[in-house]
Amino acid sequence: MRVSLLQMPADASAASPSPAHFVRGWIDTAAGSDLIVLPEMWHPGYFAFDQYTQAAEDTPALLEALSETAARVGACVHAGSLVEADGGCLYNTSVLFGPDGAELARYRKMHLFGFDSQEQRLLSPGDEVVVADTPLGRLGMAVCYDLRFPELFRRMCEHGATGFIVASAWPHPRVEAWSTLLRARAIENQAFVFACNGVGATGRGTTLCGRSAVIDPWGITVASLGDDPGFVSAPVQLDEAHTARSRFPALVDRRLLGDPDNDLVLRRDDGTAVRFTAKRVILAGYTARDTDAIDAYIAKLQEEGIEPPDEVPAYFVVGADRLTTASRIEATTASSCGEVEFALLIDSNEVWVAAASDHTDRALETVDINASKQNCPKVLSTSVWRLHDIEAHWDDLTFEARTPAAAQDCYQAGPVAALRPPRELIELVENRFGGPMAGTVILSGTIPAAGGFEFHPSFEVALRDPVRGRSLEVAYSIVNVMEDT
Query: Out of 40, 84, 339, 400, which one is annotated catalytic?
Result: 40
Query: Out of 109, 196, 373, 376, which one is annotated catalytic?
Result: 109
Query: Out of 76, 84, 119, 144, which one is annotated catalytic?
Result: 144
pLDDT tens-place string over residues 322-341: 999 999 999 988 899 999 99
Average pLDDT (160-178) is 95
pTM: 0.63
| pLDDT in the model for residue 256 | 58
Least confident window among 41-55, 259-273, 329-343, 395-409: 259-273
Q: Clarify whether 473 is annotated catalytic.
A: no
The average confidence (pLDDT) of the chain is 92
Q: Clarify whether 157 is annotated catalytic.
A: no
pLDDT tens-place string over residues 58-101: 999 999 999 999 999 999 999 999 999 999 999 999 999 999 99
| pLDDT in the model for residue 458 | 96
| Confidence label for 270 from pLDDT (cuts 50, 70 and 90) | low
Who has greater pLDDT, 177 or 269? Answer: 177
Can you tell me the distance from the alpha carbon of 81 to that of 99, in angstroms, rounded to the nearest whole number? 18
| pLDDT in the model for residue 251 | 84
Who has greater pLDDT, 306 or 420? Answer: 420
pLDDT tens-place string over residues 332-377: 888 999 999 999 999 877 899 999 999 999 889 888 888 989 999 9
